[in-house]
Structure 1
């Protein structure tokens, strides 16, 4: 399929998990993919090699979400061989959890810097290069909507902020037919939260369908939002969590 043939896409945090799956899915649809990584150059290059082996086109760029200059450079790299940017996927994030009274200012600053400030700044750089009809897709969390247990205050707050940003971007850039949407994954089988991990049974007990997401489940939703089948869907939230929040 070539739903995104000739389009350029930038995915932050694309070296593993949901980001890697999304990079591969967008490339399979014909997009030229630029993925960022903070530290795992080897993991990022492996994703690029897998995309190229499947006939796609991709490049990896080192850019920590806390580094404004590096993120702006990633946008430039994504548009170097293309006429502007078509898809931005804000995927990079960190998961700081623990008792509220123990999450100090350093934890707060780190979480907000990556999960909120970084998203804000790279999106700001991206919209300056984004073509008419572009897509801004942000990875949120079902914890931004409903928190089933203690210890999630800081993380939930950071992801809830992205809901407001998404809705505001949808209103502000609709005149350019740029759509902004947010995808809220629930428990997803990655190295950060494996489906056979020590806390997985407790998470399944909250699900209507007792099944973890695979990274490809989230990537498939992102790819659909990035493509031509959803031109007027904007300012919307899409929860993929096996019914945890119903």
Structure 2
């Protein structure tokens, strides 16, 4: 099987009909790819993001993302807000309940990255990563939990965070960013235990390789890096596979996108781009595909 949505039968399906997903930071990139993957299966999607107006260096807005969701076959609502702000997060969850009757899936996608050495990293960037990555994940999940408990269609919380890798290389490469991403992972693993009897599947998803997002293309050598990066659709397709499984099966698991697709029978990933030797992502020591 090939590794594109068109060839895996995900276009125009109804697997997610009636299910409502809330995505943080879903204006573009991986968050939007996950939203579109679910929308192709008929999902309702609420997108919480800050970009209400076009940005000179970033493609799309939360409003264009909703248009993309609806063009893909789902229903979408935009919420302009900041995942760091409790009132904005509450508004996103309230919007999902008002428009679609509840929340079945949360995608903790919003994230900030700064990889400067410790002595060069500003306190402002430290706070930004902790506030978006850890606090934002906490706030959105907490606000959704009462509604996830009521879901009758398979409640899931997917957090875009890596498996815990204690390789000293990753611990020392960018300690603060590592702390913030591992913090997201630890929250997910903690909730998997705390809510083990609630019927909610808490899982993490991380890319095997660089993904061709704005975060990569805006780097100094972004043009070359994008050529060796897979498209965001691989994360969207992997997320759909996870969300199609019973919550208990995925609860407490940390997944790599290529491994999820391999388990689903997708072994040819060439359709996602990146060339013959795509760049391994941060926190990944070796290939799984």
1:175 aligned residue = 197
CA-to-aligned-CA distance 1:51-100 (integer Å, 9 cap, x gap): 22233211110121211110111011112133321000000011112111
Say whether 1:154 aligns with 2:176. yes
CA-to-aligned-CA distance 1:142-164 (integer Å, 9 cap, x gap): 79665559652211110011121
Secondary structure of 2:101's partner?
A: coil
TM-score, scaled relative to structure 1: 0.87
Say whether 1:25 aligns with 2:37. yes
Say whether 1:190 aligns with 2:213. yes
Q: Of residues 229, 246, 264 in structure 2, which corresponds to 1:212?
A: 229
List alignment gaps of at least 5 residues for structure 2.
1-12, 55-60, 259-277
Cα distance in 1 for residues equivalent to 2:47 and 2:53: 11
Tell which deviates more after alignment, 189-198 or 63-72: 189-198
On the 8 A contact 2:19/2:104 being kept in 1, the answer is yes
1:221 aligned residue = 238
* Cα distance change, pair 158–148 in 1 and its aligned pair in 2 (3 A): closer
1:129 aligned residue = 147
2:6 aligned residue = none
On the 8 A contact 1:144/1:159 being kept in 2, the answer is no
Secondary structure of 1:115's partner?
A: helix
Say whether 1:61 aligns with 2:83. no
How many residues end up aligned between the 2 structures? Answer: 240
1:76 aligned residue = 94
Cα distance in 2 for residues equivalent to 1:108 and 1:226: 32
* Cα distance change, pair 67–230 in 1 and its aligned pair in 2 (3 A): closer
TM-score, scaled relative to structure 2: 0.75
* Cα distance change, pair 114–102 in 1 and its aligned pair in 2 (3 A): same
Cα distance in 1 for residues equivalent to 2:104 and 2:246: 15
Cα distance in 2 for residues equivalent to 1:196 and 1:164: 29
1:207 aligned residue = none
Secondary structure of 2:135's partner?
A: helix
* Cα distance change, pair 81–40 in 1 and its aligned pair in 2 (3 A): closer
Q: CA deviation at 1:39?
A: 2.5
1:233 aligned residue = 250
* Cα distance change, pair 155–104 in 1 and its aligned pair in 2 (3 A): same
Say whether 1:245 aligns with 2:245. no
2:160 aligned residue = 139
The structure with the greater share of residues assigned to strand is: 1
Q: Of residues 39, 46, 49 in structure 1, which corresponds to 2:51?
A: 39
Secondary structure of 1:74's partner?
A: helix
C-alpha RMSD of the superposition: 2.7
Cα distance in 2 for residues equivalent to 1:142 and 1:99: 22
Cα distance in 1 for residues equivalent to 2:219 and 2:99: 42
